[in-house]
Each structure stands twice: as C-alpha cells, then as structure tokens.
Amino acid sequence: MLLHELPAEVLLHILASAGSLSDLQALAETSRRIHSIFQLEQSSLVYQVLANELGPVLADALGLSYIQALDALSPTFVEQAESAVSSYAQLLEAGGDVGSHPLLPRRPAWDSVLRLARSFRAMAYMASVYLTSTLRLIERETRQSRDDPEVAFRALARPSATERLRAVRAHYRLQMLLHLWECARADDSRHLSTVNGLCALLFALWEPWELQQVFGLGAFYMRLRPVVGRHPFQDQMVRRDVTGREGFYCFDAFRTHIRFLRLTNEPVWQATVAAMSNPPPGLEATGQAEEGRLAWFRFKLYDCYGAALHAPPPPEPPLSLRFTPGQEHVDNVPFAWVDAFDGRYGNNFWRLDGAPIREKGVSAVGIWSLLGMVMWDAPRAEALKEVSVALSSHCAKGWALLGTRNEHYY
C-alpha cells in the first residue's frame, strides 16, 4: 500500500511522529491527501512535533512563552509574573511527561503554537551560532597543540543532539532572565525587587551546572556584541539596540541583525565568526577577560538572592554526583562538571577562590567557560582536557575545589 493510501488515523500518527518541523513539512508535502490531513490538524501536529524535537526542553520553551507575555505596565504584573514562574516550575517538575501536562491545552490555539515555533527557530538559530563559534575557537587551540590527531578528532566532532539541546535550553533560560530584567527597566525599576525575587526562584529551579551553562552563554554574547557592532547598521535603532549601553537586553534586535548580516553579506559574517575564534594572543589573558564577563552575571545572581525573602535552600542528598558513560542527556549532570568537582556537588561555582590556579597566571574559570566545557558530552570534554595548550596544565580532575572553602560544597 502506498503512503498516501493509508487510513487517515495512521497518517496522523506518522505525521505526529516526525522528529523535526522540517521532517513534518516534508511529509506533509508528499501528496495532496496527506497535505489536506495535515491542514485539518495543523495546530496539534506542529505542537506535537515541536515536543518531539525539544524533548525535555519543551518546558523551557513554554516557560519563556509565559514570561514573554508579561506586561510590565499592567497593574496585575506581579500576580501575572508569579503565576508564570509557578507554571514553569510545575512543567519542570513534570520532567519527561511535560508534553501531556494538565497545564497544556488538548488542542492548542494556532497563534500560540506559531509563537512557540518561531521562538524555537530563533533559539535553535542562535544556538548554532554559539556552537559554530565555540568549536572554531577549539579548533584554533587544537591546531596550536602537538597532540595526537585522534584527540583533535574527538574535540572537533559534530555536536550531538544532547549538546545542541543544552545550547538551545540555555538560550531559552537566558531569555527568561533578560525579559524579566527588561520588565524591571521598563517601569522605572518599580518592579526591581519583585523581578529579582522571581529570578531567584528561577535560579533555585536550575541545577548549578545548568546555571553555569546560562551564564557562560551570556558571556559569549558579551564577547559577540562588540564584534557584530563593528559592521555597518542601516537602521539606527538597531545600532542602538545592539551596541548601546543596555543593548544586551535587546536579544531580539541582536538576533535579527545577525540573521540579516549572515543573509546579505556572507563574507562579513564569516569574518565575524573568525574574529570570535581568534581572541587576543595569550589564553591566560583571554580566560581572565572571560571571567570578567561572567562577573556581570555573578553580581546579578547575588542581587537576586538578596532580593528574595530567603536564599534557595542547599541541595538535598545525595551529596555526590556520578557520571555514567553513555548516559548523556540534557537533564543529567555533564561529565565536565563531575570531573571539575571530583564528584562532589558544587553548590556555588561563583565563589571559587582559585588562588593556587591563578598563581600560574591562568584563569581556569574563564577558560572553562570560554571553551563551553559544561555544554559538551564526555568524549569532547575529555579530549579538550588532553589539548595541552588549553586545559590539561591547570584543569585536572577536581580543579574547581582548589583554593575553595569546603562550606560552599556538599
């Protein structure tokens, strides 16, 4: 039996099982009958395939949609914001069952599904920018070393599905924070204390390594902004949004300009990516500069904790973390984190003293973030530790515990 001759319910099941929106589109265009069936159930099908593609990151996509709907000028902003964060927390708690969570409508409205799809394309696009730029930086480092070619092969392998999802999820979560901070700015800071308290609740929902993924991504964009800002802007408002003092909040305008730059002037875009992978000479200085960018987020973190009624509680037992080879998953602790803390639960990555590390003139925290270590699967992270010019001299197993006080860890 030909595909288009199958019963309608079977075709609906096949369409709903597509692994990506592009696969769904390709299937829908195979025949007129299949396209007609797709159109009748377009909203539900697109939502289901988005859920397939995002997996556990669907909770973050929905959480961002709740937060983006907030209006800082509304008299009910505080109630709406607290409800949005509470709904997001429930979705995270649902874990793998988020696709069938009671909070979600059985037949989602097309407008809401379309917003989710557009948001996903934006996050996936920017995640590809991050992954491409970071891997090119890693390529530069591996070329300068004289290590085994097999090490370079593992260090530069194409990103896995898990690595891509980590980067996509970090984008969603960074956007949640940026939108809340923008709400505080939009209303002359009347909501500053409320927003900081809500951010503290978000931080409490995320594991420490997940928070470091978000902040490391933010530092990447703080590096990228001035590089992008060197190129001509036809729209002065875009120039202000991208290069202005508070331009970091204007992620949408920033993304739009990057897409325009890439589509209209590919050589300039390639020069931009190349500049991102060729920081000033000296990995030590570069790592220290990266740590300075991370400080912006660290101060935000402390501001939010200070605004909360109480600091998020310390983690519950188990008091140690284990990485199981072959169990890479976006919700699991990454190998690089377990390795850095030697299996202990690092509760506060941002209070690292690291004096023994800096005596060698190296900022391990900055380099670790610069190379995106907490984003990578174990094979790449292990290979990067073997690249002599980058990590192995100062990021041996348990390096994050050096120079710290034990009360910060569990």
pLDDT band at 400 (very low <50, low <70, confident <90, very high): confident
- Selected residue with higher pLDDT from 93 and 283: 93
pLDDT per residue over 145-186, tens digit each?
Answer: 666 778 888 888 999 999 999 999 999 999 998 888 888 776
- pLDDT reported for residue 315: 54
- Determine which of 20-29, 107-116, 262-271 has the lowest per-residue pLDDT on average: 262-271
Q: Is the peptide bond before 313 cis (omega within 30 degrees of 0)?
A: no
- Determine which of 117-126, 344-353, 396-405 has the lowest per-residue pLDDT on average: 344-353
Q: Do 127 and 213 belong to one domain?
A: yes
pLDDT band at 228 (very low <50, low <70, confident <90, very high): confident
pLDDT per residue over 263-302, tens digit each?
Answer: 777 787 777 777 777 765 566 667 778 877 887 777 777 7
User: What are phi and psi for residue 344, nearest 5 degrees?
Assistant: -90, 155
- Selected residue with higher pLDDT from 52 and 149: 52
Q: Do 108 and 42 belong to one domain?
A: no
Find the domain containing 82 and state its range. Answer: 58-311
User: What are phi and psi for residue 176, nearest 5 degrees?
Assistant: -60, -50
Q: Is the pLDDT of residue 21 over 60?
A: yes
Task: Give the mean model confidence (pLDDT) for residues 247-260.
Answer: 63
Indicate whether 396 belongs to any domain.
no
User: Domain end: 260, 284, 311, which one?
Assistant: 311
Q: Is the pLDDT of residue 27 over 60?
A: yes
Q: Do 112 and 237 belong to one domain?
A: yes
Residue 142 and residue 364: Cα distance in Å, rounded?
17
pLDDT over 70 for what percent of the chain? 73
Q: Is the pLDDT of residue 222 over 80?
A: yes
With b meaning 16 or more CB within 10 Å and e meaning fewer, what string describes 135-164?
A: bbbbeebbeebebeeebbebbeeebeebbb
User: Under a CB-based contact definition with an 8 Å cutoff, are residues 202 and 178 in contact?
Assistant: no
Give residue for tokens 């593609």: 53
Which runs of consecutive H residues, i.e. helices, occur in 145-207? 149-155, 161-186, 192-205
Q: Is the pLDDT of residue 319 over 50?
A: yes
Domains in the chain, number: 2
Average pLDDT score over the chain:
78
- Selected residue with higher pLDDT from 205 and 249: 205
- Determine which of 61-65, 222-226, 231-235 has the lowest per-residue pLDDT on average: 231-235
Q: Is the pLDDT of residue 402 over 70?
A: no
What one-character DSSP code corresponds to residue 157? P
- Determine which of 241-245, 308-312, 386-390 has the lowest per-residue pLDDT on average: 308-312
Indicate whether 141 belongs to any domain.
yes
Q: What angle do CA 206, 210, 211 make, to 5 degrees?
A: 75
**Dihedral in degrees, nearest 10, Cα atoms 22, 26, 28, 29:** 140
Nearest to 116 by CA among 203, 25, 48, 180: 48
Q: Do 48 and 113 belong to one domain?
A: no
Q: What share of the chain is helix, strand, coil (3-state, %, to 5)?
A: 70, 0, 30
Residue 124 and residue 175: Cα distance in Å, rounded?
13
Q: Do 223 and 248 belong to one domain?
A: yes
User: Domain end: 52, 74, 89, which one?
Assistant: 52
Q: What angle do CA 140, 148, 285 make, to 5 degrees?
A: 35
Q: Do 33 and 111 belong to one domain?
A: no
Residue 261 and residue 263: Cα distance in Å, rounded?
6
> In sequence order, which residues have a C-beta less than 8 Å from that of residue 396 and are 6 or more positions away?
385
Q: Is the pLDDT of residue 410 over 60?
A: no
Task: Give the mean model confidence (pLDDT) for residues 30-48.
Answer: 88
pLDDT band at 398 (very low <50, low <70, confident <90, very high): confident
What's this model's pTM, rounded to 2 decimal places? 0.87
Q: Do 146 and 244 belong to one domain?
A: yes
Q: Is the pLDDT of residue 220 over 80?
A: yes
Q: Do 228 and 140 belong to one domain?
A: yes
Q: Do 10 and 123 belong to one domain?
A: no
Which runs of consecutive H residues, i.e. helices, occur in 187-319? 192-205, 208-228, 236-243, 251-264, 266-276, 283-307
pLDDT band at 192 (very low <50, low <70, confident <90, very high): confident
User: Domain end: 36, 52, 68, which one?
Assistant: 52
Indicate whether 122 belongs to any domain.
yes
